[in-house]
């Protein structure tokens, strides 16, 4: 059986590696001239660290990442500490794997290198898929340069604006009306807020700022997000909303450390925040969607790339489980993959939306309740995180995703 993965981001590369590690030859097609990630930082919960371990790349990532000791939630207007989350030994012991923060490029580069070294993986760039024909026995693909391919299995890992998704669903991404400015600065230029390895999240009405170190602590990653008044007023065209002037206005009433941090973020580019509603299926014959092509979500749980990695592990496992002398029972592999993954990713999608609303609320009653509830929780109270970070129940997912640990012994 021949398998083609369309999309050379983190999810696509991880999927190709997982399929190959489970005995399948695979070809990956990437539209760009080289493999590259847009953006800077990534937060990886222990569920993603567990998936990286299953893919055989965790040991290469740990020296490049930072293991924060805690996460802080602060009021962006007053600077007051709302609550903390202990990410130290108690956290590692509970979930078996560490919480990591890292640079997107470091992960992408590591995945590319593992894929290039694997004899069953072929990587091709400058392959923009323009036409797909789905048949009962496989799929045909045509690229913009005229190159054509045949595949028994087709995996769409081509992101939020997936061209393959239209072969499964006729829908469009939903814009939240929020814009994000992202960037890194050398640690020594990041100001007082960069003095620790903590993950710091500042939240306020219509705004938030996320900060943490990456690349062994040499760089400091910052993401400033705000609700656009222009977008809310109907000015939704290209260049009509999300510009630097709106960024500055949104954070004008923030406390000095937040305003200082936002002033250090580059203004050359911003990103609109999109998601989609959970889909009823990701499958159409020989085609299956994964990652953001299947279940794009808002960033408030920090799970976009994490869930794509879990997808990769699960899909590779199902291919290996249902392989035989005559190839893969593709229908069964796809159905079991979807049954294992769709409910979990749908929960992430639907949980991220209200969590973002809680961060950005200006409702006095909700603010009072938020301060009261979060202010009383203990730093090592992990109960609300178990559904996301704990290993899957035995038999409900790929065995590698049900493993509790132990956590790799690495100096923080």
Q: Exactly one of 149, 178, 212, 389 is catalytic; which is it?
A: 212
CA dihedral 275→281→286→287, nearest 10 degrees, is 0
CA distance 53 to 59: 7
Whether the CB-CB separation of 59 and 156 falls below 8 Å is answered with: no
**Residue 99 is a catalytic residue:** no
CA dihedral 104→223→308→361, nearest 10 degrees, is 170
Residue 212: alpha-carbon gap to chain centroid: 16
Strands 26-29 and 323-324: unpaired
Token readout for 149 is 């391919």
Non-local (6+) Cβ contacts of 107 within 8 A are: 10, 37, 42, 61, 305
CA distance 126 to 348: 32
Place of tokens 């939020």: 160
Alpha helices in 126-241 (DSSP H): 229-232
Residue length of the chain: 412
CA distance 314 to 311: 5
Which helix (H) or strand (E) element contains residue 249?
helix 244-250
Terminal-residue alpha carbon distance, the chain? 44
3-state helix, strand, coil in the chain (%, to 5): 40, 25, 35
CA distance 388 to 340: 14
Apex 72 CA angle, 344 and 40, nearest 5 = 65
Could you give the residue numbers annotated as active site? 212
């Amino acid at each position: 059986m021949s398998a083609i993965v369309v999309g050379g981001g983190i999810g696509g590369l991880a999927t190709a590696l997982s399929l190959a590690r489970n005995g399948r030859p695979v070809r990956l097609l990437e539209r760009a001239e080289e493999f590259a990630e847009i953006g800077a930082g990534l937060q990886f919960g222990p569920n993603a660290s567990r998936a990286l371990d299953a893919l055989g790349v965790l040991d290469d990532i740990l020296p490049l990442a930072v293991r924060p000791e805690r996460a802080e939630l602060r009021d962006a207007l007053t600077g007051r500490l709302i609550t903390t989350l202990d990410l130290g030994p108690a956290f590692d012991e509970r979930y078996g794997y560490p919480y990591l923060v890292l640079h997107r490029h470091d992960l992408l580069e590591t995945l590319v290198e593992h894929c290039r070294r694997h004899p069953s993986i072929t990587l091709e760039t400058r392959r923009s898929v323009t036409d797909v024909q789905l048949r009962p026995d496989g799929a045909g693909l045509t690229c913009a340069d005229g190159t054509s391919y045949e595949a028994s299995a087709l995996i769409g890992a081509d992101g939020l604006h997936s061209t393959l998704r239209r072969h499964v669903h006729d829908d469009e991404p939903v814009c939240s009306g929020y814009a994000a400015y992202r960037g890194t600065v050398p640690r020594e230029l990041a100001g007082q807020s960069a003095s620790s390895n903590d993950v710091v999240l500042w939240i306020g009405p219509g705004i938030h700022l996320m900060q943490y170190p990456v690349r062994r602590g040499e760089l400091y990653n910052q993401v400033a997000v705000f609700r656009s008044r222009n977008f809310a007023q109907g000015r939704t065209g290209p260049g009509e909303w999300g510009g630097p002037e709106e960024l500055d206005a949104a954070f004008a009433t923030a406390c000095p450390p937040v305003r200082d941090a936002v002033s250090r973020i580059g203004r050359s580019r911003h990103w609109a925040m999109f998601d989609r509603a959970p889909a009823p299926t990701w499958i159409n014959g020989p085609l299956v969607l994964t990652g953001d092509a299947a279940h794009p979500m808002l960033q408030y749980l920090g799970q976009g790339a994490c869930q794509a990695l879990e997808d990769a592990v699960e899909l590779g496992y199902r291919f290996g489980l249902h392989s035989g002398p005559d190839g893969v029972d593709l229908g069964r592999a796809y159905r079991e993959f979807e049954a294992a993954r769709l409910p979990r990713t749908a929960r992430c999608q639907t949980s991220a939306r209200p969590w973002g609303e809680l961060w950005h609320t200006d409702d006095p009653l909700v603010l009072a309740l938020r301060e009261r509830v979060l202010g009383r929780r203990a730093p090592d109270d992990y109960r609300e995180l178990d559904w996301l970070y704990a290993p899957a129940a035995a038999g409900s997912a790929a065995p590698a995703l049900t493993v509790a640990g132990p956590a790799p012994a690495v100096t923080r």
